[in-house]
Chains A and B, each alone.
Chain A
Amino acid sequence: MTDALVVAAPRESRPPSFLGTRNRGRYATGLGVGLATLYLSVLVFIPLAAVVWKSQEKGWSAFWSTVTAPEAWSTIKLTVLASLGVALINVVMGTLIAWVLVRDKFPGQRVLNALIDLPFALPTIVAGIVLITLYGVQSPINVTLAYTRPGIMVALLFVTLPFVVRTVQPVLLELDTDMEAAAASLGASRFTIFRRIVLPNLTPAILAGAALSFARAISEYGSTVLISGNIPFKTEVASVQIYNQLQSDNAAGAAAIATVLLAISLLVLFGISLVERRAVRR
């Protein structure tokens, strides 16, 4: 490999008389863009287009009736509502944890700080096993959340834990405490200081973290599959239903729900990039 490069290098550095460096650069760019587009198309774009295509195979009305059929609709509703709830809880708890990690000092804090990233590193099925062991039918602490909606929420909260904490933490670290001290010296209560001075500075970071949590929760599969128990109309989340439909050879049904999920993911993704761009412009 290295030998080939050494041999190839001098040959390439000799510029052909009629092609300047700029032209060669342009060809390299073209080649690179072409390869990247091919790679993305084969792996991502064509497969995703196939999902949308499959969902529309029998027309829009067939798609619409599949999606609004009672079981599919209750699944979509549950997934969206659970994800919204999870994002909301993360807004409160994530901000609180970030605050405690930045402003408080106690022994073991650094270990705790490092542990926050664990849910990202842990495979989702391991997260599922971990939670069903503590909150399953034979719960050692007598809290059984398996096959219930709160169980789904716990699984989603586990995998989305780092988002808000990690977006708020750096902002809180950079935040100057001068303004807070000034407000305190003017007689503002701690709550007023937090509401009027700290919170406005944290809001963009909190919103970004919440949007990321929502996007992740909407599409989560591995951590919820064990604890949810997949009871139709009760604890069946979208990703699990897509999997089950596919296993029972109903690719069209799976594609219909997948298309709805894709549309929501795209919306959230564009929303986040829009908010980010506005934040940069400011």
Chain B
Amino acid sequence: MTKYALRFVALFYLAFLLIIPVGLIFWRTFSHGFGPFWDSITEPEAIHALKVTLQVALLATACNTVFGVIVSLLIVRREFPGKRVLNLLIDLPLAISPVVVGLSLVLVYGRLTPVGEWFSGRGVNIMYALPAMVMATVFVSLPLVVREVIPVLEEIGTDQEQAASTLGASALQTFRRITLPSIRWALAYGIVLTLARCLGEYGAVAVVSGRIKGQTQTLTLLVDQRFENFDRSGAYSVAVLLAMIAILAMLVLTILRPKEA
């Protein structure tokens, strides 16, 4: 009896919090068939938003992949002063509001700040342009690669790496031949996680992009703009596109997960 009561409560809660709401926008989007959905996400503004989103997400993911590998190696393999502080502060971005991330970047790199003016004097706009959007996205997804790679690096130990370097391999060769192959699944997991987070970032990008239509509008901003303009079905279409990307990322992650063990 208790068993069924608990099962009912859990299912009821998940149904009304998660399953019905998410199901509803899929139903609203596809109830008139696939055509309207396709037309809505292939409008010029949507295509442009997709391009901007991909550009920002890929650049940010690339930055955080390189940074993530370097920092993981440093934290696990090397000793240096301030290591514990660094290890703790890496997680900081996950606990910070995306809007605060945006605000913090505006205060340093905004158009009217010394740094912003120095760059704009040289013809480079940081704020309300691609650089700031990439920076904001890098900020919010910073710890994701590091947190996946560190445990695996700790687990594999240094035996093989030491053997390789005894046999005369350079640091780079050891990394490429020994370290990288053993962390590749964890790294892939971290990269997919980062990419998914970057593609879906909203709050930080909303602040630093300036929401310029046809220039700095990403998919998440397009969802918001269409919704505010009472274009509900248009907003649903882009939201469903983003949801499908998220679900695809989840599927890839479940495939990657067991290979680590």
Contacts and interface: CB of A to CB of B under 8 A. Distances in A.
Nearest to A226: B227
Contacts of A133: 21, 24-25, 28, 236
A97 B250 contact: no
Contacts of B163: none
Contact of B71 (A36, A100, A190): A36
Nearest to A241: B99
- Binding site of B, secondary structure by majority: helix, strand, loop or mixed? helix
Contacts of B9: 96
A103 B109 CA distance: 52
Nearest to A157: B17
- From B93, B108, B224, B254, residue with most partner A Cβ within 10 Å: B108
A131 B239 CA distance: 12
A115 B18 contact: yes
Given A44-B139, A118-B18, A126-B200, A222 B78 contact: no
Given A126-B200, A221-B98, A106 B22 contact: no
- Binding site of A, secondary structure by majority: helix, strand, loop or mixed? helix
A168 B256 CA distance: 22
B92 interface: yes
Contact of B21 (A51, A121, A134): A134
B220 to A, nearest CB: 5
B170 interface: yes
A48 to B, nearest CB: 5
Contacts of A171: none
Given A47-B104, A239-B100, A243-B207, A221 B202 contact: yes
B172 A9 contact: yes
Interface string A187-229: 0001000000000000000000000000100111110011000
A47 B202 contact: no
Contact of B104 (A10, A51, A104, A268): A51
- Residues of B in contact with A, size category: 35 or more
B243 interface: yes
A131 B21 contact: yes
Nearest to A244: B99
A186 interface: no
A126 B103 contact: no
A48 B104 contact: yes
Given A220-B97, A242-B100, A40 B89 contact: yes
B41 interface: no
B239 to A, nearest CB: 5
Nearest to B2: A190
B243 A122 contact: yes
Contacts of B74: 29, 32-33, 36
- From A40, A96, A129, A221, residue with most partner B Cβ within 10 Å: A129
A270 B252 CA distance: 32
B105 interface: yes
A179 interface: no
Interface string B219-241: 01001100100000001100100
B239 A114 contact: no
Nearest to A273: B88
Contacts of A246: 99, 102-103, 106, 207
Interface string A4-43: 0100111011000000010011001110110111011001
Contact of A262 (B28, B80, B100): B100
- From A9, A126, A220, residue with most partner B Cβ within 10 Å: A126
Contact of B25 (A43, A104, A129): A129
A9 B172 CA distance: 7
Nearest to B22: A130
Contact of A96 (B6, B106, B142, B239): B6
Contacts of A255: 103, 107
Nearest to A240: B99
Given A126-B243, A133-B24, A243-B99, A46 B78 contact: no
A140 B104 CA distance: 40
Contacts of B25: 129-130, 133
B14 interface: yes
A254 interface: yes
B246 A123 contact: yes
Given A125-B223, A219-B98, A262-B96, A134 B20 contact: yes
A50 interface: yes
A149 interface: no
A76 interface: no
Cβ-closest 9 pairs across A and B: A123-B200, A219-B97, A47-B104, A121-B246, A221-B203, A13-B170, A50-B107, A265-B95, A100-B10
Given A104-B3, A118-B250, A251-B103, 13 more contacts: A12-B170, A28-B171, A30-B80, A43-B138, A43-B139, A51-B100, A93-B13, A97-B10, A122-B246, A129-B235, A133-B24, A190-B2, A240-B99
